Amino acid sequence: MKKIAIISTLVLSMAVVVISCGGKRDTGRTYMPDMAYSRAYESYAERDSSVFTTDVNDRGHKIFYNNLPPAGTIKRGELFPFPVVPASMNSVDSGALLLSSLVPNPLSSMTGAELEEAGRLFNINCAVCHGAKGGSDGPIAPKVGGVKSIIAASPGYTDGRIFYVITYGQNNMGSYASQLSSEQRWRIVQYIRTLEPKTSAPAAATTTPAKKDSVAVKK
């Protein structure tokens, strides 16, 4: 009887090992996925479709994750919501890019302190690739490749288009929406305008000041 119990225990143990073991990278069946996988993902990060779902009807099999805000709402502290959203974060939406050009900058001109802060944010987030003066000569620009010169490209772009690229990214450049608030992104757009080469204004017509008419000043 004792032998049968020992054999049964060994068989059961082996069965558990065989069932629970898969490939070297396979962690086995996850019984509490909410405990194993964090919901705290970046807004635009790719998610494992085998674990997460945005389909309400699939809630029982996967973790339901809806990263979209309720319709008609604005994020707390979001003073300047941007009305243009690309159809996909994985490809260039030429239509949205075109529409973004029509969005005006909602901010007025900057004070000295705001300009200094915008420059600080630019140096932290943008200068590593685009360079402190926007000439695509940042320290990691050669490694990234394809970095555009801001001072060369921005004069042909509206504020809305530059804001769109900062918000959603383009080509090798990723989104900075999670690092910068919308106001900070608009301020950076304004700061970029200060880096653009100043076009020489047409020379003002020089006229010889007219002599005072002695008769006109007489009472």
The three-class DSSP label of residue 115 is: helix
Q: What is the mean pLDDT of residues 41-68?
A: 68
Per-residue pLDDT at 113 exceeds 60: yes
Burial (Cβ within 10 Å: 0-12, 13-18, ≥19) of residue 166: buried
Per-residue pLDDT at 60 exceeds 80: no
**For the segment 138-154, what is each residue's pLDDT rounded down to a tens digit?**
998 888 888 889 888 88
| pLDDT mean across residues, the chain | 75
Q: Where does the pLDDT of residue 159 fall: very low under 50, low under 70, confident under 90, or very high at 90 and above?
A: very high
Q: Where does the pLDDT of residue 210 fall: very low under 50, low under 70, confident under 90, or very high at 90 and above?
A: very low
**For the segment 74-96, what is each residue's pLDDT rounded down to a tens digit?**
666 666 767 787 766 555 677 88
Q: Where does the pLDDT of residue 124 fall: very low under 50, low under 70, confident under 90, or very high at 90 and above?
A: very high
24 or 106, higher pLDDT: 106
CA atoms within 13 A on the CB side of 82: 28
pLDDT of residue 83: 73
Instruction: Domains for the chain: give ranges and CATH numbers.
Output: 27-68 (no CATH), 94-195 (1.10.760.10)
Alpha helices, DSSP H, located in the chain: 2-20, 33-36, 94-100, 112-125, 127-130, 141-144, 150-153, 159-168, 182-195
State in Å, rounded, how far the first CA of the chain is from the last one.
136
pLDDT of residue 66: 62
